[in-house]
Amino acid sequence: MTSTHVWPSHQPAHVEPAHVEPTRFEPTHFGDTGPDPYAAAMAHPITTVDSFTTEPFAGNPAGVCLLDHPTTVEWMQSVAAELNLAETAFAVVRDDGAHDLRWFTPTGHEVDLCGHATLATAHVLGGAARFHTRSGLLTCTLGVHGMIEMDFPARPLSKVDDPPDWAPALGVDPSAIVQVLDDGPGWGMVELASADAVRKAEPDFGAIAALRDGILVVAPGDQDGVDSVSRMFAPGVGIPEDPVTGSSFTTIGPWLAQRTGGTMFVGEQASARGGSVGMRIEGDRVVVIGRAVTVIEGTIASDPPRA
């Protein structure tokens, strides 16, 4: 005998969907849900370069943005803040093949001279370049073994006769300070008695910023082939310790020349990343010499507005 079992229907009754208010994650809460407004933007090349080194992830990193027309300060400040490197360089090509060059820190400061970002820009352009800058015309040439030589103005030094007490700010013993020198508004140089004192300095960045925008500490070198050992602290412009400061060697070079009577030098910057910089004195100019390595290449998907 066959039995047939009829299962009851479990189909739910039709229910009208309830109206649900958009949550905070709905696209409508993030503005226009239409086409990406940046999709049609032209791609502008941007490069991260490590300067004063032959190895990636050493030396001093700089952003390099090549432009075909001048743009606004606000746009350049935004790009520099986005990259968050010590400096980002913006180079605008001129009709004669030279470039207008400007440098910005991630905190929005425009600096008068930046050696490592100039080296980085010349490297991106192939090694040889002429730049019109706040510090005048800077000429870069390609030397031997991939070295780039940058012709910079020397920065004169004057001794400070009654300096503030730099020892607590730099975290050094007062007996280690030989002299304090001035090399321009907001900037100075402290000569220490030994390279070891430079390396072991434990700076108080707040105390430094209260005294100067930036301070260079330097001592004679303690190894064969190294004429100076230095560090640069610039908390006043948003850079607690700069890895390798090319422009500082326009001060160190004349200081070494006065001490030794020589004209060719090699300096070590004893930061965590470290780097080596060549110097050649030519009258009132200092040729700063170094190599650079491309680390990142990309594009900015935001059109720079015309200035």
87 is catalytic: yes
Yes or no: say if 290 and 51 are a contact pair by the CB < 8 Å rule.
Answer: yes
Nearest in space to 232 (alpha carbons), one of 220, 224, 244: 244
Which residues are 242's β-sheet partners?
A: 232
Yes or no: say if 100 and 65 are a contact pair by the CB < 8 Å rule.
Answer: no
- The DSSP secondary-structure symbol of 18 reads P
Q: How far apart are CA 86 and CA 181, in angstroms?
A: 24
Q: What is the CA radius of gyration of the chain?
A: 27
* Positions of E strands within 105-213: 110-111, 129-133, 136-142, 148-153, 158-159, 177-182, 187-192
Nearest in space to 269 (alpha carbons), one of 305, 212, 227, 297: 227
Tokens of 95: 């009709």
Tokens of 257: 């020349």
Q: Which of 21, 82, 87, 297 is catalytic?
A: 87
Which secondary-structure segment (H or E) carries 249?
A: helix 249-260
Query: In one letter, which amino acid is 182?
Result: D
Yes or no: say if 246 and 150 are a contact pair by the CB < 8 Å rule.
Answer: yes
Yes or no: say if 255 and 218 are a contact pair by the CB < 8 Å rule.
Answer: yes
Nearest in space to 167 (alpha carbons), one of 219, 203, 206: 203
Tokens of 39: 């999709």
Residues with catalytic roles: 87
